[in-house]
Structure 1
Amino acid sequence: MPLYLGLMSGTSVDGVDAVLARFEPGFEIIATHSTPISAELKQRILDMATGKGESIDKLGVLDKDLADLFAEAANNLIEANPIPRSEIAAIGSHGQTLRHRPSLGFTLQSGDPSRIAEQTSIKTIADFRRRDLAAGGQGAPLVPAFHRALFQKSGTDRVIINIGGMANLTSLPGDTEQMVIGFDTGPGNVLLDEWISLQQSKAYDQDGAWGASGMVNSELLERLLDEPFFQLPPPKSTGRELFSMDWLSIHLNNISPIGAEDVQATLAEFTAISICHAVASLGMSSPELYICGGGARNLHLMQRIARHAPGSNVQSTATLGLDPDWVEAAAFAWLAWRTDSALSGNLPAVTGAAGERILGAIYPA
């Protein structure tokens, strides 16, 4: 059966994950590979995403350079494994989100899919989010449909929590006749990563050790949790447009100075509580919680989530057979398969779209 290759670079901007998978007759991961993003390119992405590097020329060059990186990531996976290109039906490329403004009716993912198709000689499917937006949806999150297909289990309430730069959840009721719900819960790793980068020039907090060394500041925590986004009902999605270092700085400037490690501890607690409040809003009784994304490697964050979700078994999606590092890239391989098969890829109850839609645009090899 044909194979599909998914490419994903999230709001953490730490690398491009590539997953090769098949979906018929059943789901199987064939190969995985991660290609790092250079510090120079990451800075250009962040400058563009935060409005510090905006110009049409810079946007166009970034679109080209990101496409070259995505093509390199796909080629790296293929060349590292004995897989004929002829067996790969399509590449599903999420692109790099530079701006997500569903309230204004647009979302912007960069990484020219024409260049990916040209450099890989493989049909490329991209631009998954905008059809959902055109149908009145948020365009995000899209992975809940994949979560439902792969992880739902009759008789067992489950919640899949993806902690990338932002965090989102998918409720998977044990009663499979009930509606699947999903939405962004708020920041995941984005503030944690940016704060340790600012203070210690590190890309992330290894195992959450620095955060674990600090003390939670209750005044800062209360201010962060008072953000109106958390009171919005789903469907809802968010990004760096809201949860940024500028946003954090406003709150830090309104409290007495605290230690840098205490800020990190408070940010970890903030992420854990905002996620667990979102889980509680689902009304499930002690659902199983499965974590994926980079946050699954933050042991301190995992412990804080478990602390704020008493009665729920908190594990990574590895327990369900899929390494937490590869869930999102696998989801975009799945979305490419759905589009290639003329099947819908969104869940209207999650995004708020008017109905199910075939997502993405196809760029022939």
Structure 2
Amino acid sequence: MIRALGLMSGTSLDGIDAAIIETDGEGAVRAGASLAVPYKPEERLLLRLALEAAKSWEPDEPMPEEVAEAERHLTLANALAVRALLAEAGLKPADISVIGFHGQTVLHQPERRRTVQIGLGDVLARLTGIDVVNDFRSADVAAGGHGAPLVPLYHQALAGSTGIVEPVAIINIGGVGNVTYISPDGALLAFDTGPGNALIDDWAHEHTGEPVDRDGALAAGGDVDMDVLERLMAHEFFDAPPPKSLDRFSFSPEAVRHLSPPDGAATLTAFTVEAIARGLAHIPGVPSRFVVCGGGRHNPVLMAMLSKRLQGGVLPAEDLGWRGDDVEAEAFAYLAVRSLRGLPLSLPTTTGVPEPMPGGRIHRAGSIAHD
């Protein structure tokens, strides 16, 4: 068993999730301390500027300065999150064998064999005094995979540790939505389903100044425009077979621009739910339950819509004893251990890569740790 610390910053741009687990990188998982560090407004602004700059970034061009600046700040913010978590857990850097550092996705174009998660792994290793694994997706994408989702192998380990033997669908609603289907014989199928919270968050930020539609309050006051929803669901992505993945900006809120703020929020929330339901039509079995992880499960309007659309069986991760806000951070701790052991991080049925694919880049801390 190896004690690892995972760091995750999702496309919702809400903050950094940090979690410690002990694992062998296979079926054994024990959860440790965790915490969430919300981004400061200026950090969120830097990341938004980086995302905008990355839209027009071509492979033969140097990294845009907005992206480089965000990368420096992001790395420091993650180092501070590691320090805070270690202090809370009463641990020293020497007590952690490896950090799994996801970084921040600013560009995801697997069709061009290109994906970029910013974050300076070598700098984080020096700042923390702990070995770091980052760049989890590049090998998969270079081999022809989608590079996402990467959490399914951890979902499988979690389900096994919980004693789940029946078919189950694990739905993660972050900035983008994705699903992992685990069959009774342990076979995996995973793919992105469509928009998660990103469109809803952007709409709420534009109309309320809040970074999210807190408690679904904006959507709760509106009505779903079914004509707009039908147009949104006409996107070719939804009929494509898995594996498949998305960029945060694969979908636009322009279709709801003419709606009132509450109606726009309600329609975008329904879009996320309908995308998940449409995605589940691609799985080969009938799940006995749908386990929801990620920030979307905190939105009661979204959860109520999802339960109605899937006709029950929808439960938050906590009902299984999981930490729904920490699953992805835990997953990158788990994947870091797999990377150290040379085990695959992705499979043909999770990312479309031709064969099980190891990955990750290891940065050794050496003897220097900066205070």
TM-score (norm 1): 0.93
SS at match of 1:35: strand
For 1:262 and 1:101, how far apart are their aligned partners in 2?
A: 31
Other-structure match for 1:314: 314
Structure 1 match to 2:289: 288
Matching residue within 157, 174, 179 for 1:164: 174
Paired residue type of 2:167: D
AA in 2 matched with 1:169? V
What does residue 63 of structure 1 align with? 71
Q: Deviations over 1:132-165 (max 9, x none)?
A: 1122100110001111122155641100000000
Give the match's secondary structure for 1:146: helix
1:240 CA drift (Å): 2.0
Comparing 58-67 with 337-346, greater Cα deviation is found at 58-67
**Would the aligned equivalents of 2:256 and 2:267 in 1 still touch at CA under 8 Å?**
no
After TM superposition, the structure 1 = structure 2 runs for residues 1-365 of structure 1, keeping only pairs within 5 Å, are: 1-24=1-24, 26-51=28-53, 56-152=64-160, 155-176=165-186, 179-243=187-251, 247-249=252-254, 251-252=255-256, 257-310=258-311, 312-365=312-365
Task: Tell me how far 1:286 sits from its aligned partner.
Answer: 4.8
Any idea what the Cα deviations from partners look like across 1:154-209, whole Å, max 9, x if unmatched? 64110000000000000011233xx3100000111001111111011111112212
Instruction: Find the aligned partners of 1:341 and 1:175 in 2 and give their Cα distance.
Output: 25
Counterpart code for 2:5: L
Q: How far 1:52 sits from its partner (Å)?
A: 7.5
- Matched residue of 1:324: which SS? coil
Kindly provide the CA deviation profile for residues 275-317 of structure 1, in whole angstroms up to 9, marking residues without a partner as x: 011113214235310000000111111110111111x410011
Distance 1:41 1:300 in 2: 28
- Whole-angstrom distance in 2 between the partners of 1:299 and 1:52: 33
- The structural deviation recorded for 1:219 is 1.4
In structure 2, list runs of 5 or more residues that go unmatched: 58-62, 366-371
CA distance in 2 between partners of 1:175 and 1:154 (Å) = 11
Q: Within 2, Cα distance between the matches of 1:225 and 1:173? A: 27
Q: Please identify, of 28-37 and 50-59, the stretch whose mean Cα deviation from structure 2 is larger.
A: 50-59
Output the CA distance in 2 between the equivalents of 1:154 and 1:46: 39
TM-score (normalised: structure 2): 0.92
Contact 2:219 2:265 in 1 (8 A): yes
Aligned letter for 2:185?
D
Question: Counterpart of 1:189 in structure 2: which amino acid?
Answer: N
- Mapped contact 1:163–1:296 kept (Cα < 8 A): yes
How many angstroms does 1:111 deviate by? Answer: 1.0
Amino acid at match of 2:349: A
More off after superposition, 144-153 vs 332-341: 144-153
Does the 8 Å contact 1:2/1:87 carry over to 2?
no
1:205/1:58 Cα in 2 relative to 1: closer, same or farther (>3 Å)? closer
CA distance in 1, matches of 2:164, 2:216: 34
Identity of aligned residues (%): 36
Distance in 1, matches of 2:240 and 2:52, equals 23
Which residue of structure 1 lines up, in the alignment, with residue 368 of structure 2?
none
How far apart are the structure 2 equivalents of 1:303 and 1:109?
33
* SS in structure 2 at match of 1:65: helix
How far is the alpha carbon of 1:212 from its aligned partner?
1.7
Supply the distance in 1 between the matched residues of 2:52 and 2:45 (Cα, whole angstroms). 10
CA distance in 2, matches of 1:206, 1:61: 29
Q: CA RMSD in A?
A: 1.7
Counterpart CA distance in 2 for 1:248 and 1:206 is 19
In 2, the alpha carbon distance for the partners of 1:52 and 1:86 equals 36
User: Aligned AA for 2:171?
Assistant: I
CA apart distance, 1:56: 3.0
What displacement does 1:326 show? 0.4
Report if the CA contact (8 A) 1:50-1:240 is conserved. no
Deviations 1:36-75 (Å, cap 9, x if unpaired)? Answer: 2121221221122123897633332222211111111111
Structure 1: give runs of 5+ residues left out of the alignment: none
1:75-111 Cα shifts (integer Å, max 9, x gaps): 1101222113212110000010000000111100001
Aligned residues: 355
**Letter of the 2:169 counterpart:** V
Moved over 4 A (4+): 52-55, 152-155
Distance in 2 (CA, whole Å) between partners of 1:65 and 1:290 is 34
Aligned-partner SS, 2:180: strand
